[in-house]
Amino acid sequence: MSKGLENEIAYLRDIKMQFWVAFLGSFGGSVGVIVSDIPLILKIIMAIIGFTFSVVYLVNYLKKGVMIEKRINFLKKKGG
């Protein structure tokens, strides 16, 4: 494979990893809010928002992750 093709595949894998990291960061932040020492109503509101974002990031990872893998496989076949 050419160097440009290898760079594009590495870039696509990095993008896929960033979706996963965003999910884990949002989920971890939500758990961190729950164990923090702030008023209960704020904990509930912030945890709901955090878990909502983490679900959105997870769905985004699952949807776009499949598309990225298809693109990577296509590029590998194209590159030989």
In the predicted model, is pLDDT for residue 1 greater than 70? no
Q: Where are the domains of the chain?
A: 3-79
pLDDT at 79: 78
Q: What is the pTM of this model?
A: 0.70
6-45 burial, b if ≥16 CB within 10 A, otherwise e?
eebbeebeeebeebeebbeebbebbeebeeeeeeeeebee
In the predicted model, is pLDDT for residue 31 greater than 70? yes
In the chain, % of residues over pLDDT 70: 98
Between 39 and 79, residue with greater pLDDT? 39
